[in-house]
Structure formats: structure tokens, C-alpha cells
Amino acid sequence: MSERAKNYVIAVVLVALAAFLAVLVGTSETTEDRVERIGSSIKCPVCQGEAIADSPATMATDMMALIEERVDQGATDEEIIDELLSSFSGAVLLDPPAEGLTLALWLAPLGALILGVVVVAWWRAHPGDEDEDAAPAKKADPRSRKLVGGLIIVGGFAGIVVLAAVLLQEPASPAGGAAALSEIDLAGTSNETMEAVIAANADNPQINGMRLALAERYYEAGDYRAAFPHYLAVAESAGSSDAEATTALIRLGWMAFDGNGEVDAALTLFDQALQISPGSDAALYLKSRVLWCGAGDYDAAAASLEAILEDDAIDPTTAATVGADLEAVLAGEPCQ
């Protein structure tokens, strides 16, 4: 091969490498792609070997929404994955296969490196068609030949380095890392997902807010059996706030009476709630109902109702209801 042809080959290889590096540097992963990639690496806790990105399950949908939220907040891949694995019982990390565009991107720089090595090796094996007696000015300079060969090899390695940097780049982590459990949007989270998160964080005090929210859902739906263990856990947790513990004890007290007819247990729970939050209108009112309807203690029931009416902040609707009950109790009427 003539010296001019060799130079053309070298130029083509270098231009190809430069173009490839330019494409890599300009490549950026979209938010949707990143969410999909992370979701493809996590196994759905309620599915059979399926990634959450591919599952139509409610829990998988909630987990994908959480990933998108954390990506928008600037959390790193590692932080997001750690939060998912620690928050959702049964979630495990999958090993996604290298395929499609990802596989092509990984193999392309390696191919460029191999091409460069092949060109240099071929060049050395075919020193040229010139005669040995040709003018020195027309012979290839060995130093330039080594320099160009070195540039080709370095270019291949640079391609690999740039590709790795592009694929592994992540947004800077915000102060404080991944959001706490208390920051999860409960309104948009299903009961199934909340149960999984609670099961995975049973000993974490931050889970009490979610426990209470889930218990309230069950309570309002009349599902006392499902609500009971969550209220009990909140009531017994040292990490619960006074408001959380009071609400849990009040609900437990009413469920004990309304669900099982247990008068003494209900009154004990209401008294515990009042020890934490003296003057709680909810505790006083439900206690009056148990005293009136369950124990038949009209005097004690009237005392509880009168204590509620002493609250200057009571709203008119509640005051009217309490007042009507008080009149009925004082008149000795049966529980309504």
C-alpha cells in the first residue's frame, strides 16, 4: 500500500473515533429512560420474577412512581435502589441483561480499540510498496508511524473511558440523601404498597405515620380486623407522637366496644388516651357513649359530655350533637 493510502486509512480511523467520542459526550439519559432503567433492575415483590418496570401490579406502579419522584429530587441510583430494597418487603435487585442499545454502546468503543490495533498491526506487516532505493523523503517516518499508532490506541481507550463516564453519571445527591419514609405521598399510595413498606420497616419509628394512615383507611371502611394491629403498634411505639398515640388509643377503645362489646377494655383505653391528651373531645365523647350505652352509668356519661361543652373551641355542629346527647342522658333516656 502506498504511503498516501496509509494516510487515508489513518485519517478515516481517527475521524471515526473522534465522531464516536463526540456522540458519547453528547449522549444524555432522559428522566424517563433513567426511571425505566432503575425499574428494570428491581424485582416486583408481588410478581413472579418480573421487574417493576414491566409489571401492571398496583405495588409495582407505586414503586415506579416513587422512583420518578426520587429522580426528580436528584437522588442517585444507589440511593433510590437502597430505599426501594429497604422499604418494600420482597423487593430484590435483578441482574438486567446487556442487550439492545446498552449492549451496542458497551461494545462500540471496544470495537474501535480493536480496529485501531488491527490497523497498526497491518500497517507494520506491510511497510509499503516503495523500493529500498527510494528517496528518503518519500519513506514513512518511523517516529510518525509510532505516534499515529499510539494515537489510535489511546483513542480507543478514551472511548471506553468516556462511555463509562456517560453511562455511570448521576445527578449530584441532595443534602440529606433519599427522602425519609415520612415524606412518601400516602394519598397516592395503595393499601397493598403501604402494607409492604410497613412490613419492611416495622421497627422504624418513622413508619408510624404510615401505619396510622393505613389503619384509618381500614377503620373508615369498617375493617376493624385489619386496622387493629396497626393501631396497636402505633399505641405501643415509643416513637409515636402524642397525637398519634392518642388517636390510636381512641380507635382501639371504640373498636373494643363496637366490635366486641368489651366495656371495661374500651374505658381503659379511653382513659389512657386522656392521660396523654387531657381534654380530648374525641376520647371524652366516645367514652360517654360507652358509659351510657354499655355500662349504663348515666352520671359518668353526663360528666364526660359536660367536659366537652366546656371547651370554648368546640365547633357548633359538635356542640349541638353533644348537647342533644347530654339532654337525653340527664333525662334518663336509653342510649340512642
Question: Is 137 a domain residue?
Answer: no
Question: Is 135 a domain residue?
Answer: no
Domain that holds residue 289: 188-330
pLDDT score of 97? 46
Report which of residues 201 and 292 the model is more confident about. 292
Question: Are 124 and 205 contained in the same domain?
Answer: no
Q: Mean pLDDT for the chain? A: 79
Question: Are 80 and 192 contained in the same domain?
Answer: no
Question: Are 25 and 155 contained in the same domain?
Answer: yes
Q: How far apart are CA 44 and CA 90, in angstroms?
A: 8
Domain CATH number, residue 314: 1.25.40.10
Question: Are 198 and 167 contained in the same domain?
Answer: no
pLDDT score of 170? 44
Question: Are 114 and 154 contained in the same domain?
Answer: yes
pTM given for the model: 0.59
First-residue to last-residue Cα distance in the chain: 107
Residue 19, Cβ density class (10 Å: 0-12 exposed, 13-18 middle, ≥19 buried): exposed
pLDDT score of 185? 73
Question: Is 336 a domain residue?
Answer: no
Question: Are 167 and 195 contained in the same domain?
Answer: no
Summarize pLDDT for 33-73 with one digit per residue, the tens: 999 999 999 988 877 778 899 988 888 888 898 899 899 99
pLDDT score of 199? 87
Q: How far is CA 127 from the centre of its chain?
A: 61
Summarize pLDDT for 158-204 with one digit per residue, the tens: 556 555 555 554 443 333 333 456 567 778 788 988 898 888 888 88
Question: Is 168 a domain residue?
Answer: yes
Question: Are 166 and 197 contained in the same domain?
Answer: no
Number of domains, the chain: 2
Give the Cα-Cα-Cα angle 316, 216, 44 (nearest 5 degrees).
150
Q: How far apart are CA 128 and CA 130, in angstroms?
A: 6
Question: Is 254 a domain residue?
Answer: yes
Summarize pLDDT for 212-257 with one digit per residue, the tens: 999 999 999 999 999 999 999 999 999 899 999 999 999 999 999 9
**313-330 in b/e burial notation, b at 16+ Cβ within 10 A?**
eeeeeeeeebeebbebbe
pLDDT score of 173? 37
For residue 42, give the 3-state DSSP assignment. Answer: strand
Question: Are 13 and 161 contained in the same domain?
Answer: yes
Q: How far apart are CA 244 and CA 231, in angstroms?
A: 9
Residues pairing with 51 in the sheet: 43
pLDDT score of 175? 35
Output the nine-digit C-alpha cell for 304. 364526660
Question: Is 322 a domain residue?
Answer: yes
pLDDT score of 98? 47
Question: Are 151 and 217 contained in the same domain?
Answer: no
Residues pairing with 42 in the sheet: 93
Q: Tell whether the torsion through CA atoms of 77, 80, 86 and 92 is positive or negative.
A: negative
Question: Is 42 a domain residue?
Answer: yes
**Residue 276 near residue 249 (C-beta atoms within 8 A):** yes
Question: Are 211 and 150 contained in the same domain?
Answer: no
Question: Are 195 and 64 contained in the same domain?
Answer: no
Output the nine-digit C-alpha cell for 143. 517516529
Inform me whether the pLDDT recorded for 1 exceeds 60.
Answer: no
What are the helix (H) ranges across the chain? 3-26, 31-39, 58-73, 77-87, 100-125, 142-168, 191-200, 208-220, 224-236, 242-260, 263-276, 281-290, 298-309, 316-330
Question: Are 192 and 238 contained in the same domain?
Answer: yes
pLDDT score of 38? 93
Q: How far apart are CA 127 and CA 65, in angstroms?
A: 62
User: Max CA-CA distance within the chain?
Assistant: 131
Question: Is 98 a domain residue?
Answer: yes
